[in-house]
Structure 1
Amino acid sequence: MPGAAGVDLSTVIVLARDEERCIARCLDSVCGRGFDDILVVDTGSTDATPGIVDGYRTRGVRMLRHPWSNSFAAARNAAVDCVATGWIVFLDADEWLTGGSVPARLAELSRFDDVSRLVFAPRIADRNGYSGDVGRIFRADSAIRYKGAVHEYPVIAGEPDEPVGIVGVDIRFDHDGYERSVVVGKDKRRRNLDLLDIARARDPDNPRWWYFTIRDGLPVLGHAQLVRSCTVLKRLADTPVATGDGRSGREYYRLALGQACQAFAAFGDWTSVHRYRADLPDADAHYFGAIAALARDVVTPHDLVGAIELRGRDELVADSVLDPAGRHLDALIVALLDRVRGEADAERYRDMCDPWTDTFFDGSRLRRRQPL
């Protein structure tokens, strides 16, 4: 374990439970890479994971058995409490480190002012792109701890908790834990929804849990559950509460509506789609309005002109909660061109665009038999 004298020591922490598929790949990516300590926190594996980890003891890996308490935050915090000083790097078992000397990069981060209130976010890459806002790296001797049963997030622990500063850093993790076979095999949707039930019960005024209930619950949420979640989020957007989360209730409400409106459309509830469109960014509001017109086969040239004008306004596209790159508008323009000007023009535009897939489109091709 790192000693108190080595302020720039570094510890990798890996949470694991039944990860025989990938734990060796994860550990191979960090062993021999200059870290001072590698700690695996096993929360109750019944497969070969503990035995695999034990085989890495000679390479500097140690293991902590921590009983699962229906909280990822509790498991992470138990691990943090085992590290005395220096940098902590959280790496999930279904991730692996690629490229560069991370300990050397960590030493550079010490130059930041008041680093005890900062959490650094690596680039986490998978086949759907990458995220750069998930905080994973911080000082062990800070007051930073995690909060939440699932989709846990770092806070400055206190009464009340305070938001940390999230800073992107040029460190890359690769990730495959949301490949369909893995999600189905580990039943991650059911696990997340069960833990979100716990999170909402413990912290009912935290909009984060209502947002993730919608995000993770699609497409299994019933219509009544979806309406209730949107109703609560709208209330919380207008009555801010201190949660220690860097995102506001208003942001979570907007993010949730982008997904909820797709679900309402699948239920055939265009009344709710129309009601919530007013709270969406302009690009997304037009998107759902035009989708409704396509579904009713009442498309007009005005719908096409509006989509093209929005696509050309970078500031409005960047404000989208569906796709800040504007691919949903591209897919919409293709569908509208097909209806207004014909297939040839639609195909020419499609050839210039990156594909978009969601409830309505598959690779920028409108699903003709979708349940609208």
Structure 2
Amino acid sequence: MKWIIAVCIMQLLPFCMAENPTGAVQWESGFQPVYKSGAYPRATALADGTLLVGFDHFIEGRRAIGIVRSTDGGKTWGDYTEAAQAPASDNLANAFPLALADGTVLVAYRHHTFTNNTYRLVVSASSDKGKTWQKRGVIALGSTGIWEPFLFELPDGTIQAYYASEENLKPEQQVEMRASRDGGKTWGAPVVVARMKGSRDGMPGVVRLRDGSLYVVFEASDVPPYGFVVRAVRSKDDGKTWSSERELIYKPSNPVMAGWASGAPSVIRDGDRLFVSFQADDSVEFQKGNKNGDPAAPGYDYLRNSSFKYVSSSDNGRTWSPPVALAGEPGKPSLWNALYTPAPGIIIALASFHSAVWSKIGYVKK
């Protein structure tokens, strides 16, 4: 059943901020409801054009990884199913679905049991286009912290899982990658993708550039006084080795230099254009000592003040446009958002707002 929501409620949400000064994308007005509860939405497209969105939420006293689908290009969503569930005391989140070339659909997610300090990244699989799911394998196990899996398929069928790990590093963190050659059942040893002493590198996203190299974006905490900035590294050998240069994509642009943060990035490519989204609190009006306007003030919350923004590049990630705001505002945040491109020239923006999941369609201008 489709989730129906009153148009008057939609009109109250601050989702009509998407005027694009760069002219790169023409967005439809307003966001559409995807599901009535949830966070961290991520999408994949099946061979027949069906779109699936995975997210985490709390439902009927349990944690669940929910999946909904759209058969009209993202205009409407429905047919809810669950890929995984866990007791309310567990931490089940960071859903990331991926449709493989052979028709199998995977979804990776974190499943942490804090009572015994068990941290794990799990992958479930569906052979019927996301209607039913079975647990397939465990990407990584830990006792300190592993987070935010991102799945990527190579041309030879190898599946890569990128994720953040603080194992033996806490409070620091690094981005790692493991590979599977049996459809996600077993996973190899970790390869370090991004690491810097003193930084908490995490929340990776991956795309293949036109030159064939892999491009990984991630949040990092290595540019004081900022809490987070968005960086990238590259690989010319499908992830075996990674560049030492940590390219800077975005740092907070508030005119007052303070501990603003821009994190939780996602990345897509449409032709020669790259788009990187993130959540940032740099639209806050600085108020020294005020917990609602000063990152140094006790009680200030970066997440409470974050907006959904993105930047674009037409030169392979060497330079970037000014940021474009899509959703959220200080005090009414849009969190754990993402961009997805189901077909050339089309972008779907996915947002978490007021504990619900929303989507918006954009068209890349030539």
TM tier, smaller = under 0.3
- Could you say which structure has the higher helix fraction? 1
- Could you say which structure has the higher strand fraction? 2
Between structure 1 and structure 2, the one with the greater Rg is 1
Q: TM-score, normalised by structure 1?
A: 0.25
Q: TM-score, normalised by structure 2?
A: 0.25
